Structure 1
């Protein structure tokens, strides 16, 4: 497979730092950048996989919450006991087990 050339621009002092780090690693600048990019992509993919379940829970909660409107529209008093329990469970995911702190009306997170 043929290689693809990607061009980047750096400030002179950043370029010198990269050259210095590449030299210390025993690599040319191109190999150094490729190695760093591949490592960063791997880290990002691991983080995405690690948080996929939480992201799915958030997306589901946001989807279910759309029909309720914002807190300013409905107010906290509009929640029944089951809905309040769901809010408390969700907040414990955010703040940790045993913490179900909810925001007061008008309070900014």
Structure 2
């Protein structure tokens, strides 16, 4: 099988680290990089295969959601203060403490 040359550029320190790791692995730099890239590609492909069904479900749900009409804004007095606290806690679980802070029925 004919081989193809790929040229890469990197800083000297990084190149030296790669050479040292290749040497410790008993490989030349080319074989080491091909091995590392092949292993990385296999990991990514395995993850993509593992999540392909859920990714399709998410894509379908997003497409369906995009076709739905927008909900009307809730009047400010629709939620009690306790309900607002519960909604805020739920949003923090989903988005983290730094996520969206506007609650339904409140001014953004």
Q: Would you call these one fold, judging by a TM-score over 0.5?
A: yes
For structure 1, the residue ranges without an aligned partner over 5 or more in a row are 78-94, 96-102
Deviates more, 1:40-49 or 1:60-69: 60-69
Alignment RMSD: 2.1
Q: In structure 1, what is the Cα distance between the partners aligned to 2:71 and 2:67? A: 11
If you compute each CA radius of gyration, which structure gives the higher value, 1 or 2?
A: 2
- Provide TM-score, normalisation by structure 1: 0.65
Matched length: 79
Q: Which has the higher contact order (CA 8 A, sep 6+)?
A: 2
Structure 2 portions without partners, runs of 5+: 75-93, 95-101
Question: What's the counterpart of residue 57 of structure 1?
Answer: 57
Query: How many Å separate the matches in 2 of 1:15 and 1:45?
Result: 27
Task: Give the whole-Å Cα distance in 2 for the aligned partners of 1:43 and 1:76.
Answer: 45
Runs (4 or more) in structure 1 with deviation over 6 Å come to none
Counterpart in 2 of 1:18?
A: 18
Q: Deviation at 1:76?
A: 7.5
Identify the residue that residue 82 of structure 1 maps to in structure 2.
Answer: none
Scaled by the length of structure 2, what TM-score is found? 0.66
